[in-house]
Amino acid sequence: MWHAPLFQLAKCVHLTEVYHFHDMIEMLVNCGYKKGTTLFGYGYDFRQSNRVGNSMETAYEASGKRKVNIITHSMGGLLVSCFMSLYKDVFSMFVNKWICIGCPFQGAPGCINDSILTGLQFVEGFENYFFVSRWTMHQLLLECPSIYEMLPNPAFKWERDPQIQVWRKQSNDDDTSIQAESYGLLESISLFEEALKNNEASKSLLFPNISFRPLPLVRIILTQTSLLQLTYGGNAIPLPFNMSILKWATETRKILNDVQLPEGVSFYNIYGTSCDTPFDVCYGSETSPVDELSEVCHVTPQYSYVDGDGTVPAESAKADGYAAVERVGIPGEHRALLRDDKVFQLIKKWLGIEQNVSKRSRTVKVMDSHVYI
């Protein structure tokens, strides 16, 4: 949850890593769109499943019953894909064009696998203070259906299947050896179960009610405290790999694998390239192996990389499965694509925005209403 003064600070100083859509909104407003009339934002809880209810009608009605154009970023593309599959007739009725940016259509192997095992650090540097810590995020993500839904798709024909590798001591009688264990797309589930079977929820000893990352001075204090085990009724709260959520996510993946683009809807895909993007993950090393798989959760991961936007491999992001009008790779980082001039130029082109600029006047023609997700 955001603390209001911190949110206002992020907005005022324009912290790009936490105020993602600001530049795109400004660009669209400058092109003639009006907030609440022809420009709408659809906020959603990233922790929840990508299976959502009907949310298009408000924008459709407010725009005078004109079909809307949708721009999605990242998980927003999965959310729209699920919506399109579950409410195909509604989608066809309300939507004219869909522009997708940086969507993990087939998953984000390196980032998601590691998120489940050790957590996630969104950003580095000063802007990191506006996010929860890696370990706190780890505890949160284990209960997020959306994370399980972004695991690498085992039905997709990867150029090379993503792997998780663990260097581990193996003891047999008096003989001890060190071996690298590899886990593929399906075998990784057993790793998640074993590594997290004794995981328990915990929180910092200080400031137990703070749900946002504290300011620097406070953070220094927190990093020097121990963790306090959370209990309920005197019992520790277990937080293992959640097989019930995995079952739900498996059904979501089936929906995503079967979805089809309705006739009359134009689809455009922008995916990020030229950034080292985690694909395989390795824990431990030949010189520093782990004894038990539970230790993996406290080991710094080592990645092997592929081309992508730093979060989503290009291989996954461009494998939408739809008959795209255009599919374009843009060099750029996952969130930076939302403020990239080349991306803006493509959006203007695809939305059919006509601009005539003269010394005295500037005329802008907006074709349809627009929703960003």
pLDDT digits (tens, 9 = 90+) for 243-279: 999 999 999 999 999 999 999 999 999 999 999 999 9
What number is the average pLDDT over the span 23-50?
A: 88
What number is the average pLDDT over the span 13-19?
A: 56
Structure tokens at 243: 């097989």
pLDDT of 284 above 70: yes
**In terms of DSSP H, where are the helices of the chain?**
4-12, 22-30, 57-62, 75-86, 88-94, 109-118, 134-141, 145-149, 188-196, 216-223, 243-258, 314-317, 341-351
Minimal CA–CA distance to 200: which of 239, 142, 232?
239
Dist CA 267 CA 264 (whole Å): 10
**Residues forming the active site:** 74, 309, 334
**Helix (H) / strand (E) containing 270:** strand 266-273
Structure tokens at 274: 């030229």
Torsion of CA 22, 28, 29, 34, to 10 degrees: -110
Q: What are the C-alpha distances in Å from 114 to residues 91, 118, 138? A: 34, 6, 9
Q: Does the domain at residues 4-199+239-372 carry the CATH identifier 3.40.50.11440?
A: no
- pLDDT above 70 covers what percent of the chain? 74
Amino acid (1-letter code) at residue 347:
I
Structure tokens at 316: 């996954």
- N residues, the chain: 373
Using 50, 70 and 90 to split pLDDT, how confident is the model at 226? very low
Given this model, what pLDDT does residue 122 score? Answer: 59
Is the distance from CB of 28 to CB of 34 less than 8 angstroms? no
Is the distance from CB of 40 to CB of 58 less than 8 angstroms? yes
Q: Tell me the three state secondary structure of residue 128.
A: helix
Using 50, 70 and 90 to split pLDDT, how confident is the model at 19? low
Dist CA 98 CA 321 (whole Å): 14
Amino acid (1-letter code) at residue 136:
T
Dist CA 12 CA 367 (whole Å): 32
pLDDT digits (tens, 9 = 90+) for 175-225: 889 999 999 999 999 999 999 999 887 654 333 333 333 333 333 233 333
* Bridge partners for 304 per DSSP: 280
**Which residues are within 8 A (CB) of 202 and not within 5 positions of it... i.e. 6 or more apart?**
139, 227, 228, 229, 230
Given this model, what pLDDT does residue 213 score? Answer: 38
**Helix (H) / strand (E) containing 69:** strand 68-73
Higher pLDDT, residue 236 or 89: 89
Minimal CA–CA distance to 80: which of 255, 326, 287, 336?
255
Task: Give the up-direction half-sphere exposure of residue 211: CA atoms within 13 A in the CB hemisphere.
Answer: 5
pLDDT digits (tens, 9 = 90+) for 49-94: 888 665 566 666 766 777 889 999 999 999 999 999 998 998 999 8
Dist CA 63 CA 290 (whole Å): 58
Minimal CA–CA distance to 15: which of 213, 207, 151, 183?
213
Is the distance from CB of 274 to CB of 297 less than 8 angstroms? no
- Which of these ranges, 71-75, 114-118, 249-253, 357-361, has the smallest mean pLDDT? 357-361
Given this model, what pLDDT does residue 37 score? Answer: 84
Is the distance from CB of 258 to CB of 85 less than 8 angstroms? yes
Dist CA 80 CA 90 (whole Å): 12
Given this model, what pLDDT does residue 130 score? Answer: 58
Dist CA 112 CA 118 (whole Å): 10
Structure tokens at 354: 């006509």
Higher pLDDT, residue 356 or 230: 230
Given this model, what pLDDT does residue 119 score? Answer: 87
Structure tokens at 350: 């695809």
pLDDT digits (tens, 9 = 90+) for 143-183: 999 999 999 999 999 999 999 999 999 887 778 899 999 99
**Which residues are within 8 A (CB) of 143 and not within 5 positions of it... i.e. 6 or more apart?**
47, 239, 242, 245
Dist CA 140 CA 341 (whole Å): 34
Is the distance from CB of 297 to CB of 195 less than 8 angstroms? yes
Using 50, 70 and 90 to split pLDDT, how confident is the model at 47? confident
